[in-house]
Amino acid sequence: MSSKKAAGLPQFPSQFPSISPSALSALQSDYLAQATALWNESLKAGAAETKPLPDRRFANAAWSGNPASSFVAQMYLLNSKMLQRMAEQVEGDDKLKQRVKFGVQQWIDAASPSNYLALNPEAQALAVSTQGESLSKGLQQLWGDVQRGHVSQTDESAFEVGRNVATTEGSIVFENELFQLIEYKPLTKEVYERPLLMIPPCINKFYILDLQPDNSLIRYSVEQGHRTFVVSWRNPDASCKAWTWDDYIEKAAIRAIEVVREIGGTKTIDTLGFCVGGTILATALGVLASRGEHPAESVTLLTTLLDFSSNGILDIFIDEPAVQLREVTLGDKAPGGPELLKGQELATTFSFLRPNDLVWNYVVGNYLKGEAPPPFDLLYWNGDATNLPGPMYCWYLRHTYLQNELREPGKLIVCGEQLDLSKIKAPVYIYGSREDHIVPWDSAYRSTQVLSGKKRFVLGASGHIAGVINPPAKKKRSHWIGKAAALPADHQQWFDGAVEHPGSWWTDWSAWLASHAGAKKPAPKSPGNRTHKAIEPAPGRYVKQKA
């Protein structure tokens, strides 16, 4: 089986998609005219220095100062533009067109002359000026990455979980085979009556919410007076490969809700889910609602999908053959039994959604120039991969991304219950990021039409991570809030009536959350309670497990 099939990448039909003869003829004529003009211009320029090229990969003077290199780069840019235009002219349905465009863009990015020593004058000049030292270091770093199994995006030796990332003080107050529950030490004399439970995505480590003290959403919530609990997922190993979606709901999300209620001594708690963690949280609350239980006083969903009608770039990876392939290689249908989806495969897939920034940039810097990547906590977290159990992952692919059944009342049976998310009664704060390529903001907005409780939708600037992790003190970016309480079905109609506000959305969320958190009371002097005592200091063992 090819590596492409094993990775579940989109498969193109045996006959390549066609372009109408008239469109192809027009593109060819335009290409020949531009290529001829470029050749003539290069002959006129001769040995004279050309103008800087409008692409950061060729911004160094070594490119514009060398007529041959400049011509190669300009031809590459022309060819890239023409291939993109050809991809736009492909005849077929939307998914086919998106797959063709994605595949063409992957080839374009990989084919850049900047990626190859023989064509990169900047790397060649550096090799000469350092007497080959840059190439020697590059080979050493290449060998190191081969041993690690991935392209290094940061100096991984500069960080240690619990030492300089994930440092907010707390204790593990509960654990089972799926997760550890962290309770954070209060930073205020009084705390709100209702505790707050955060459920992060299980496809990443929780400490994206606690990278550094000045950008930690966890620390911010503690500073606002919330008794804060966070699920820290176990990084599955071979002993966990048979875990199912139901296990993640019943034994993790629902169990975490129960424990937080027991420790807090409250009938209801405030809840927050981020990305897939939000999908898990909503599913758990839907299961509990079917049992007549409503433990959430409020629900916050950050860049979360409940309606999977359209999901941006990730749509191209999902169709019936791709899901079936996963089911027979990783899921319950696998001949040898369930397997793990390896974390590095997930990380590589997400990196190639933005290959110039997250792959080729480091190939050039690390290997051709011999420049060690600088320490960057976000990229350290990004490379700290997590595995997923095959059955859980396959269920998620089929019933959400492929068949979009989570939004349909009564369509799914989860943990023995008919699932109906509209039965969740709690008010909901729904956040989307305007430039999110993982959960497009219109997809996040569609949750407003799935849930029936009182809802507030807020749109933040930037992407999937930078939009969420945007502390008020930084005074960066902006967010949009609707003028009216109504949330129309059309996301654009909502946006047309929204008002942009400078700075972080955190302050708006904090005020909303405070209105559901209850009265203030003295902060607890110790973590947990008599039943759930502190097991070890935060961040705990589970988050330190490597894939």
- 30 plus 109 within the same structural domain: yes
pLDDT of residue 46: 55
- Of 213, 177, 220, the C-alpha closest to 198 is 220
d(CA 176, CA 251): 8
Considering the domain architecture, whether residues 50 and 199 belong to the same structural domain is answered as no
CA atoms within 13 Å, Cβ hemisphere of 298: 21
Q: Tell me the Cα Rg of the chain.
A: 26
The reply to whether 282 and 416 lie within a common domain is yes
In a domain, 339, yes or no: no
State the burial class of residue 544 (Cβ atoms within 10 Å of its Cβ: 0-12, 13-18, 19+): middle
> Taking a C-beta distance cutoff of 8 angstroms, is the pair 140, 367 a contact?
no
CA dist 16 and 360 (Å) reads 27
State the pLDDT at residue 50.
63
Query: Residues 202, 275, 394, 415: which is the catalytic one?
Result: 275
Structural domains counted in the chain: 2
> Whole domain around residue 228: which residue ranges?
170-311+408-544
Could you give the CA distance from residue 251 to residue 274 in angstroms, rounded to a whole number? Answer: 19
Same domain, 121 and 66: yes
Would you say how long the chain is, in residues?
547
Residue pLDDT, tens place only, 340-386 = 999 989 888 888 989 999 999 999 999 999 999 999 999 999 999 99
Domain boundary among 129, 146, 162: 129
Angle between helices 121-129 and 133-148 (to 10 degrees): 110
pLDDT at 42: 83
Indicate the SS3 state at residue 114: helix
227 domain residue, yes or no: yes
- Decide: 301 and 273 in contact? Cβ < 8 Å: yes
Dihedral sign for Cα 409, 414, 418, 420, please. Answer: negative
Task: Check whether residue 119 and residue 183 sit in a common domain.
Answer: no
Q: Do 448 and 500 lie in a common domain?
A: yes
Query: Which of 316, 334, 303, 277 shows the shortest CA–CA distance to 436?
Result: 303
Q: Is 272 helix (H, G, I), strand (E, B) or coil?
A: strand
Predicted pLDDT of residue 251: 98
Residues 301 and 203 in one domain: yes
Report the C-alpha gap between 342 and 387 in whole angstroms.
Answer: 5
Query: Is 219 inside any structural domain?
Result: yes
Domain stop point among 107, 129, 151: 129
Residue 14: per-residue pLDDT? 43
117, 183: one domain = no
The CA distance from 429 to 512, in Å, is: 8
Residue 466 and residue 537 in one domain = yes
Burial class (CB in 10 A: 0-12, 13-18, 19+), 241: buried
Where does residue 68 rank: exposed (0-12), middle (13-18), buried (19+ CB within 10 A)?
A: exposed
Measure the CA–CA gap between 416 and 92, rounded to whole angstroms: 41
pLDDT tens for each residue of 502-540: 999 999 999 999 999 999 999 999 999 999 999 999 999
* 275 belongs to the catalytic site: yes
Which helix (H) or strand (E) segment holds residue 207: the answer is none
The verdict on 114 and 206 lying in the same domain is no
Question: Which residues of the chain fall short of a pLDDT of 50?
Answer: 1-14, 47
Contacts of 157 (CB under 8 A, 6+ apart): none
- With beta carbons less than 8 A apart as the criterion, state whether 359 and 382 touch: no
Neighbours of 322 (CB within 10 A): 20
199 lies in the same domain as 96 = no
Residue 1 lies in a domain: no
The rounded Cα 384 to chain-centroid distance in angstroms is: 13
Strand order in the sheet with 478-482: 498-502, 478-482, 455-460, 428-433, 296-302, 269-274, 196-199, 228-233, 179-184, 170-175, 536-537
Q: How many CA atoms lie within 13 A of 125 on its CB side?
A: 10
What's the rounded Cα separation, in Å, for the pair 446 and 309?
Answer: 9
CA–CA separation, 145 vs 491, rounded Å?
Answer: 43
Q: How far apart are CA 505 and CA 501, in angstroms?
A: 9
Residue with tokens 């954070």: 184
pLDDT of residue 13: 45
Q: Quick one: which of 176, 296, 150 has its CA closest to 243?
A: 176
101/198 same-domain check: no
In a domain, 140, yes or no: no
Q: Is position 176 within any domain?
A: yes
* CA–CA dist 275, 305 (Å, integer): 7
314 and 393 Cβ atoms separated by less than 8 Å: no
| 510: phi then psi, degrees, rounded to nearest 5 | -60, -45
**Is 365 inside any structural domain?**
no
Q: Which residues pair with 180 in a beta bridge?
A: 175, 232
- CATH code assigned at 538: 3.40.50.1820
Give the position of tokens 């120039």: 369
Q: What is the pLDDT of residue 483?
A: 87
Last residue of one domain, picked from the residues 100, 129, 158 = 129
Instruction: Answer whether residue 146 is part of any domain.
Output: no
